[in-house]
Homo-oligomer: A and B are copies of this chain.
Amino acid sequence: MRDVKSGIDRSEINETVQRISCSLEADDMQRAVKTLLALHPADRALAFSALNVQERAQLLARLDIPTTADLLEELEDPQARDVAETFTNERLADVLDEMEPDEAADVLGDLSPDRAAEALSAMEEAADVLPLLPHDDESAGGLMTTSFISLHPDQTAAEAIDYLREVSPGEETPYYLYVIDSASRLIGVLSLRNLVVAPPDAAIGSIMDPDTYHVTTQTDQEDAARLMVRYDLASLPVVNDLGILSGVITYDDLVDVLDDEATEDIYLLANVSDADLGIDSSLMLSIRRRLPWLYLSALTAFFASWVIAQFEGVIAQVAVLAAFQSVVAGLGGNTATQSLAIIVRAIALGEIDRGQSIRTVLKEGATGLIQGIAVGLAAGLGVYIWQGNVYIGIILALALIGNMLLAGLAGAMVPLSLKALNLDPALASSVLVTTITDSVGFALFLGLATLFLPHLIQT
């Protein structure tokens, strides 16, 4: 046997890329193709992506249809589209026929409508792909595959196994078999395991589980994913408005959705508005997706500057205030970021519902208040010792308590409000919240300083 493997790391892939480049340089096409094919399909896609445009074209010309189909399935969507665009219509149709229907539909959806229509008309298995095309990419319909196995309730277990042998299911076919009535409506589910261990003459209808979870084609993909996580489902049937079984979402799609969802939340909290952005993205794309947020931040920072500028006279008299105003704003921001992360994550994991919102906001407010008292007293004492003026200490402590209370409230209220408005709770949350904690933090600290001004000048 070949050695059992625990996956190869990136440096091994990089070496393979080097070897392929050398073979191509030496015009040894056969060796180049062989080196690529020695990798797992998932790793082939990584290696392929690391080659330059010319090298890719040279290789593609030598790959057979099934290998090309595997490659396109594993490539990221924009890269798969780039490859597909280089093919003749006939070759593209052959490759799409060979691909899993949901992956083929993704490629077709990324091509120009004309090109997609041409390819479809040349395909033999267009019927599998056509029903997948109209669905929103982010919906259960856009995630499902039409390559599933359905049984009828009056078949016997033995007949079902013979049928399985006959259709010889492909790699992605799920481990659950779905039972449909004469109108193709979903009426039950049967695990492959239960089919195998059932008596050969048992009717499918008697061994199936009639109590099966499902979603509709319009269900948001994250809701579908959360349902699978919650009930430990390896696959989830998708029905249309008439209850007709339209497709199946499998656990590998679920995993992709979970990863995308997490990336999206992490990015949005950091004000990066494109979950497809990665370390390999081009500099231009990166800047296009990040710069608008920085302009927005600059605008809100100028608003905070305007707040500070209102106290120019006070600062001119007690310049050291300028050194501590940022402590108040910064710790407000930190407190709010903590609340934001916890609330955004709870929403993503489906752990929060409408009834809990007020309780959650109050709890975050209480957390902010208690943390504000704890940090405020310590910081106030510290600044009193440093500056030798008890009033600066008192002002700093009071401003921290007020701003951190507000930070807890805002850190919970902003994402919950965005969610209530059906917007992404992470979208712009951090800009909104820090605008509040910065402006109020500066106003509180400098406002209190104005009140205590006589005591501050005496120092």
Contacts from A to B (Cβ < 8 Å) = 1-2, 4-7, 9-11, 14, 40, 42-43, 161, 164-165, 168-169, 173, 175, 186-188, 192-193, 195-197, 210-216, 219, 227-232, 234, 239, 243, 251-252, 254-255, 258-259, 261-263, 265-267, 269-272, 277-280, 283, 286-287, 290-291, 293-295, 297-298, 301-302, 304-306, 308-309, 312-313, 315-316, 319-327, 329-331, 334-335, 337-338, 340-346, 349-356, 360, 363, 366-367, 370-371, 374-375, 378-379, 382, 434, 438, 442
Minimum C-beta distance from A240 to chain B (A): 13
Task: Give the chain B neighbours of A370 by CB distance below 8 A.
Answer: 283, 287
Task: Give the chain B neighbours of A197 by CB distance below 8 A.
Answer: 164-165, 168-169
Minimum C-beta distance from A395 to chain B (A): 14
State whether A175 touches B188 (Cβ < 8 A): no
Task: Give the chain B neighbours of A210 by CB distance below 8 A.
Answer: 1-2
State whether A251 touches B266 (Cβ < 8 A): no
A213-B4, A352-B279 known; A297 vs B254 contact (CB < 8 Å): no
State whether B353 touches A10 (Cβ < 8 A): yes
Task: Give the chain B neighbours of A350 by CB distance below 8 A.
Answer: 10
State whether A234 touches B216 (Cβ < 8 A): no
Task: Give the chain B neighbours of A219 by CB distance below 8 A.
Answer: 6
Minimum C-beta distance from A48 to chain B (A): 15
C-alpha gap A355/B286 in the complex (Å) = 21
Minimum C-beta distance from A45 to chain B (A): 10
C-alpha gap A334/B293 in the complex (Å) = 9
State whether A367 touches B286 (Cβ < 8 A): yes
State whether B330 touches A297 (Cβ < 8 A): yes
Closest residue of B by beta carbon distance from A166: B197
C-alpha gap A352/B281 in the complex (Å) = 13
A211-B2, A315-B319, A344-B266 known; A175 vs B196 contact (CB < 8 Å): no
Closest residue of B by beta carbon distance from A208: B1
State whether A255 touches B254 (Cβ < 8 A): yes
Q: List 21 A-B contacts (CB under 8 A).
A: A1-B187, A6-B215, A10-B355, A165-B197, A169-B197, A175-B175, A192-B193, A195-B196, A229-B259, A234-B251, A251-B251, A255-B255, A262-B345, A266-B344, A270-B338, A295-B375, A305-B327, A309-B320, A319-B319, A321-B322, A330-B434
State whether B164 touches A267 (Cβ < 8 A): no
Minimum C-beta distance from A11 to chain B (A): 6
Task: Give the chain B neighbours of A188 by CB distance below 8 A.
Answer: 1
Task: Give the chain B neighbours of A4 by CB distance below 8 A.
Answer: 186-187, 211-214, 239, 243
C-alpha gap A313/B327 in the complex (Å) = 20
State whether B327 touches A231 (Cβ < 8 A): no
Task: Give the chain B neighbours of A165 by CB distance below 8 A.
Answer: 196-197
Which of B294, B319, B326, B353 touches A326 (beta carbons < 8 Å)? B326
Task: Give the chain B neighbours of A343 by CB distance below 8 A.
Answer: 279
A262-B266, A294-B335, A338-B272 known; A234 vs B175 contact (CB < 8 Å): yes
Residue picked from A302, A305, A344, A354, most chain B C-beta under 10 Å: A305
Task: Give the chain B neighbours of A252 by CB distance below 8 A.
Answer: 232, 234
Enumerate the 8 nearest inter-chain pairs by beta-carbon distance, A residue then B residue, closest first.
A262-B262, A270-B341, A1-B210, A10-B353, A322-B322, A316-B319, A308-B323, A315-B319
State whether B278 touches A331 (Cβ < 8 A): no
State whether B315 touches A322 (Cβ < 8 A): yes
C-alpha gap A161/B330 in the complex (Å) = 65
Apart from A4-B213, A14-B355, A294-B371, 18 more pairs, CB < 8 Å: A4-B212, A6-B215, A6-B219, A7-B213, A42-B232, A165-B196, A165-B197, A232-B252, A251-B255, A261-B262, A272-B338, A279-B346, A280-B351, A287-B374, A312-B320, A312-B323, A319-B322, A326-B326
A11-B353, A213-B5 known; A378 vs B298 contact (CB < 8 Å): yes
Closest residue of B by beta carbon distance from A262: B262
State whether A338 touches B271 (Cβ < 8 A): yes
State whether B375 touches A294 (Cβ < 8 A): yes
Minimum C-beta distance from A199 to chain B (A): 9
Minimum C-beta distance from A61 to chain B (A): 27
State whether B234 touches A302 (Cβ < 8 A): no
Closest residue of B by beta carbon distance from A191: B175
